[in-house]
Structure 1
Amino acid sequence: MAETTQRSRTTDATGGPRLPKGFRSAELGWPELDRIPHPPRRLPLLGDVVGVDRHRPIQDSMRFARALGPIFRRRIFNKEIVMVWGAGPAADLADESRFAKHVGLGVANLRPIAGDGLFTAYDHEPNWQLAHDVLVPGFSRDAMEGYHGMMLAVAGRLTDHWDRELAAGRTVNVPGDMTKLTLETIARTGFGHDFGSFERDRPHPFVTAMIGTLSYAQRLNAVPGPLAPLLPRGAARRNAADMAFLNRTVDRLVEERRGSGGGEGDLLDRMLDTEHPSTGERLSAPNVRRQVITFLVAGHETTSGALSFALYYLARHPDIAEKARAEVDGVWGDTGRPGYEQVAKLRYVRRVLDESLRLWPTAPAFAREAREDTVLAGDHPLLRGAWALVLTPMLHRDPAVWGDDAETFDPDRFTPQAVRTRPPHTFKPFGTGLRACIGRQFALHEATLVLALLLRRYDLHADPAYRLTVTERLTLIPEDFRLRLSRRTAPGRPVEEDSAPEREDGGSPGSGCPAHAGEGA
């Protein structure tokens, strides 16, 4: 109860600091807040809204970070936000004995749909620990090895699609296709469900609804709490309809599983049937729905962005792509269906992925709050409950850690020696501590596997006129990024057809896709 009381004292309903009339900085939990720099031209009531790009708040904050330093603050109407990106303060915030996850800003705005799911739960809510302990075994080595074949099968559907686009002389929509891939992967491996994404000309309605809820949650960040009900009614109605669709889709998925008598021990089986190893508790029906939504959204949205950025950089750096491709050939040899263990041996491909996540971590920020009164970086007193937002793309660009060429794409930043000599807590694409992403090993295995399969099969040709534009919808993804493909040729001969993954159903890569579910599931 004390923790809830503290949150109420220092924050508003969305997790943003409460700024009552005549507020003192100590009421925010930062007694010396006035020492922290903020953008110029701050206006009464409006705060730092002059020149703000409300569609790209992360990139906007990166611009201010470069000017204001490793700890700065911004006020959007009545929400004062302290942002941190320096390696020292960020390492301090990663100390689990002093700081915990803070649910605020856009994450809190997702609670109407995700509730006390793993990503959006407050630390004091008991269902977080219950769900975490029940679901952690679903990401063990044995479980991951079981998912590997399904990941290959979905990747086969992607290469079928790309082969058709190539044969028709069309470029491929990288973010759109990576979203299809990662949605199908988490749906099949976690819930035994097929959305039929690759058989659709348009995104599945689940994806459309998901993007709608994420975009609406981000939009609320820039609106004073009391004015949120004054947003255009159409936007609120669309958001309500999007949430209702997500709920209906997941409810139908769970009902199908209950009616079938169980699956093959996947995440949904664990949610429905597994008791907590110590207490014997099970997840309630409402919490199961919230966890399924959390995994379907978070389990594909961030990974699709990571793959899209990696493919962008590989296309822009053909020398790096060729080095990665040579590693895939050397490790996989003539096999048409790489085994689980072979993916872990692709160390250079993994470096490419890590470097892409360094420059554009698709979950671009995480918030931390003080467990007790403390001092941040030896210089900034904080009261219990005070919080700060770690701006991950800037943490990953700190020149004191990454050098003066921190904006340059260089996978060799992740050689074993470089990793060993780098200060801890300076690479955080999956958050930090106990509340870091539970599915990070799943995402890394999937992304490494897919990058390797695509490099082995295709040459990637960048459009010289394309300039990277990053779309923000709480997560980051390249905007309007397309690639031209050609089937790869090895020295002196075409690559054999079996260089693509075999289909799980035993068919060849071009033999078509399995039947898929209807429009609403």
Structure 2
Amino acid sequence: MHSDLILGTTLAAAALAYVFKPKKPKTELEASSVTVPVIPTYLPLQLDGVLHYILTTLSGKDEMEFLRNITNRFGNTINFRGFNRDFIIVLDPSSIQHILAKNQPNYEKGPELQAIFHEFLGSGIFNADGETWKTQRQIARPHFQTSEFKDAALINRHVDLLIKAIDKQMAANPGKPIEVQSIFCRFTLDEATEFLFGETVHALKEENSEFATSFNYAQAITAWRFRVPLWRYLLPKKRLLKEIKNLEEFVYKIIDNAMAREKVRVEEKERTPGSEKEEKGKGHATLLDHFLAEQEEHNFTREYLRDMLLNFLLAGRDTTASLLTWTMWHLSQRPDVVDKLKKEILDVVGPTAVPGYDDIKKLKYQKQVVNEVLRLCPPVPFNIRQSVEEDVLPNGYYIPPGTPVSYSAYSTHRLPDLWGEDALEFNPDRWGPERVGSIKPFMFVPFHAGPRICLGQNLAYTTAQVTLTRLLQHYDIKASPGFQPQNLGDIVLFSRNGVEVLIEKKSIAA
């Protein structure tokens, strides 16, 4: 994207905002509350702050640290204003709890955010409010219960393929570091598509699979819509629609096959009296099956099912891939932590046994490590809501109606006031018995909280821990000399340049 074009468009948008923004009298609530501090700027219409942020991202710098440094300077509740429009960022746990739980109905996705995601995600759960969101969540919830994946068979089957893929790379480039971010994205894409759809895209076998390429492009362009003014006119749409069509061809084929199976099942049920009672309470093979079992009541369209599946795929694939990627990075820097993890795995699971859900529950130190990765590298580093009506946060700050309000797990998880002077250090012991009691609600929100808390958090933990256990049974993990990852704060927190680690094949018992 050309920086001159961004600059010119930003100036034009700012001028229009200045000319046409109406001035409104203060309401009684606003007059009795505290105005959120606006970040100081020196150009008209707050152009310098907005341009600084956009150009920081365009130049490949760390936008998450850019935003964290701003809050460090100006406070935990700030107004990052641009074009005379409010954009409020909150970090304190009480405000996050207020937005996500106590007054959750007042903070929706909102029309602006929904427009950004519309072509990609439609009216799926990630992009929905109200009854649409409630219906999808209610139907999907049973599929994410622990009983659906407790034996970890599906996870272990895909870990087998992951290990083969890593071995293949090691054989092709002996002694060279492996870029694990891309391989974890392909691994979780395979696992998620089978868990959700009943069919996998075989991304581990086909490094440049069409589905994976299209999915990555759609996500990247959607993320840029957050940043660029007048994105409808500046960002490429023709290719986006083409890549989305590629996704839809795969998804619609699965939907049509599943609908045909459901039709046969219903016909057989009608021909066999009493079969409905026998089927009641049985689990469904895929998330799609859960929805089709409710088809008679809700009459879901193909488009509705398409939206639902792509939304859950976005949430399921990238968050777990991000968690695994950053776990490998931190472990490569901490051989002492790796040694403790290996000893625990040897004691609890053994050197070669394939772990199940019950084994994972016993790996207490491993859970501490995973939580510490989630603290420093939350898969969704920030999230945005929009206020429906005016409101006042617990700290007394006023929120106007129709205002974007963002909370940043990335920044909140790094506040020394909450986490101590070692807040920026990777320290799994903070989750041990001596310190874990100091971690209060809404200090730690890697999977969000409240009514919209992530349905798949138990699956994410299980997948990450089963995968980590198996990898440490097979390999040693060491730092790649001179390599440093670069934060990329898109929809999900990844590294702009991937994550390189040295992996050596070695038995855990050696």
Q: TM-score, normalised by structure 2?
A: 0.83
Cα displacement (A) at 1:67:
1.4
> How far 1:86 sits from its partner (Å)?
2.3
Aligned to 1:247: 248
Of 89, 92, 112, which aligns to 1:86?
Answer: 92
Residue equivalent to 1:167: 171
1:131 counterpart residue number: 136
Aligned counterpart in structure 1 of residue 405 of structure 2, from 374, 377, 388: 388
| Deviation, structure 1 residue 447 | 0.8
Distance 1:219 1:308, change over 3 A: same
- The match for 2:159 among 155, 158, 176 is 155
Sequence identity percentage: 23
Report 1:213-362 matches (<5 A).
213-224=218-229, 227-231=230-234, 235-260=236-261, 265-274=285-294, 280-334=297-351, 336-362=353-379
Aligned counterpart in structure 2 of residue 421 of structure 1, from 432, 438, 453: 438
**What letter corresponds to residue 129 of structure 1 in structure 2?**
K
* Runs (5+) with no aligned partner, structure 1: 1-17, 494-521
Query: How far apart, CA to CA, are the structure 1 residues paired with 2:104 and 2:466?
Result: 37
8 Å CA contact 2:331, 2:478 repeated in 1: no
Contact 1:138 1:266 in 2 (8 A): yes
Whole-Å Cα distance in 2 between the matches of residues 392 and 251 of structure 1? 35
**Structure 2 counterpart of 1:40, which letter?**
T
Query: Who is 1:63 aligned against?
Result: 69
* 1:288 counterpart letter in structure 2: L
Structure 2: stretches of 5+ with no match in the other structure:
1-16, 266-282
The residue correspondences of 1:391-406 to structure 2 (distance < 5 A) are 391-406=408-423
Q: Distance in 2 between matches of 1:129 and 1:22?
A: 35
CA distance in 1, matches of 2:405, 2:21: 22
**1:349 deviation in Å?**
1.3
CA distance in 2, matches of 1:219, 1:334: 45
Specify the SS of the correspondent of 1:358. Answer: helix
Letter in 2 for 1:486: E
Cα–Cα, structure 1 residues 381 and 88, in superposed 2: closer, same or farther, change >3 Å? Answer: same
Q: Who is 2:276 aligned against? A: none
How much does 1:413 deviate? 1.8
CA offset digits 1:152-184 (Å, max 9, x no partner): 000000101111222231432211010011111
- The answer to which of 97-106 and 159-168 deviates more is 97-106
Amino acid at match of 1:274: E
1:71 Cα offset (Å): 0.8
Deviation at 1:427, TM superposition (A): 0.3
Which one-letter code corresponds to 2:443 in the other structure? T
User: Aligned partners of 1:59 and 1:408: how far apart in 2?
Assistant: 15
1:142 aligns with 2:147: yes
Q: Which amino acid aligns with 2:246?
A: F
> What's the secondary structure of 1:253's corresponding residue?
helix
Deviates more, 1:291-300 or 1:306-315: 291-300
Decide which of 125, 132, 154 is 1:118's aligned counterpart. Answer: 125
**How big is the shift at 1:372?**
5.4
CA–CA distance in 1 between the matches of 2:227 and 2:30? 22
Contact map agreement 1:82 1:389 (CA 8 A) in 2: yes
Q: Is the 8 A contact 1:76 1:222 kept in 2?
A: no
Worse-matched range after superposition: 154-163 or 464-473: 464-473
Alpha-carbon distance in 2 for matches of 1:236, 1:422: 44
Match of 2:12 in 1: none
Cα RMSD (Å): 2.7
Alpha-carbon distance in 1 for matches of 2:147, 2:72: 44
Q: CA shift at 1:83, angstroms? A: 0.3
1:207: how far off? 2.2
Please list the CA deviations of residues 94-152 of structure 1 after superposition, one character each: whole Å capped at 9, or x if unmatched: 33346554315666511222122111102x2x221111111111111211225x10100
Judging changes above 3 Å, is the alpha-carbon distance between structure 1 residues 329 and 274 closer, same or farther for their aligned structure 2 residues?
A: farther
The residue type equivalent to 1:120 in the other structure is N
**1:37 aligned counterpart, secondary structure:** coil
Q: Give the whole-Å Cα distance in 1 for the aligned partners of 2:246 and 2:44.
A: 40
CA offset digits 1:437-495 (Å, max 9, x no partner): 1111111111111111111211012112011211233211123212221112456x4xx
Amino acid of the structure 2 residue aligned with 1:37: V
Higher mean alpha-carbon deviation, 75-84 vs 320-329, is at 75-84
Partner of 1:212: 217
Deviation at residue 92 of structure 1 after TM alignment:
3.2
Contact 1:108 1:120 in 2 (8 A): no
- Residue 200 of structure 1 is matched in structure 2 by 206
Alpha-carbon offset, residue 24 of structure 1: 4.7
**Equivalent-residue separation in structure 2 for 1:421 and 1:164 (angstroms):** 45
Name the residue aligned to 2:500: 482
3-state SS in 2 of match to 1:477: strand
CA deviations 1:406-425 (Å, max 9, x no partner) are 10001122224533332211
Aligned-residue offset at 1:186: 0.9
Does the 8 Å CA contact 2:108/2:388 hold for their aligned counterparts?
A: no
Q: Are 1:96 and 2:102 an aligned pair?
A: yes
Question: Aligned to 1:367, what secondary structure does the other structure show?
Answer: strand
Secondary structure of the 2:68 match is helix
Query: What is the deviation of 1:191?
Result: 1.4
When residues 303 and 268 of structure 1 are mapped into structure 2, their CA distance, relative to the original with a 3 A threshold, is same
What is the Cα deviation at residue 339 of structure 1? 2.1
Cα deviation for residue 325 of structure 1 reads: 1.4
Alignment deviations for residues 216-245 of structure 1 (CA, whole Å, 9 cap, x no partner): 222222333xx334315xx22111212222
Structure 2 CA distance for aligned equivalents of residues 207 and 63 of structure 1 = 34
Shift, 1:286, TM fit: 2.0
The 1:76–1:222 alpha-carbon spacing in structure 2 relative to 1, beyond 3 Å, is: farther
Give, in whole Å, the separation in 2 of the partners of 1:289 and 1:132: 15
Contact 1:364–1:392 (Cα < 8 Å) also in 2: yes
Distance 2:35 2:396 in 1: 13
Q: Mean alpha-carbon deviation: is it higher for 259-268 or for 187-196?
A: 259-268
Instruction: Check 1:406–1:243 CA distance in 2 against 1; reply closer, same or farther (3 A cut).
Output: same
One-letter identity of the residue aligned with 1:253: I
Q: What secondary structure is seen at the aligned counterpart in 1 of 2:101?
A: coil
Q: Residue 119 and residue 229 in structure 1: after superposition, are their counterparts in 2 closer, same or farther (change >3 A)?
A: closer
Q: Which has the higher helix share?
A: 2
Which amino acid is 1:422 matched to? I
Q: What SS does the corresponding residue of 1:95 show, helix, strand or coil?
A: helix
In 2, the alpha carbon distance for the partners of 1:368 and 1:200 equals: 37
Structure 1 window deviating more from structure 2 (51-60 vs 311-320): it is 51-60
Q: Does the aligned pair in 1 maintain the 2:327–2:370 contact within 8 Å?
A: yes
Q: State which of 447, 455, 458 in structure 1 corresponds to 2:475.
A: 458
CA–CA distance in structure 2, aligned partners of residues 264 and 25 of structure 1: 55
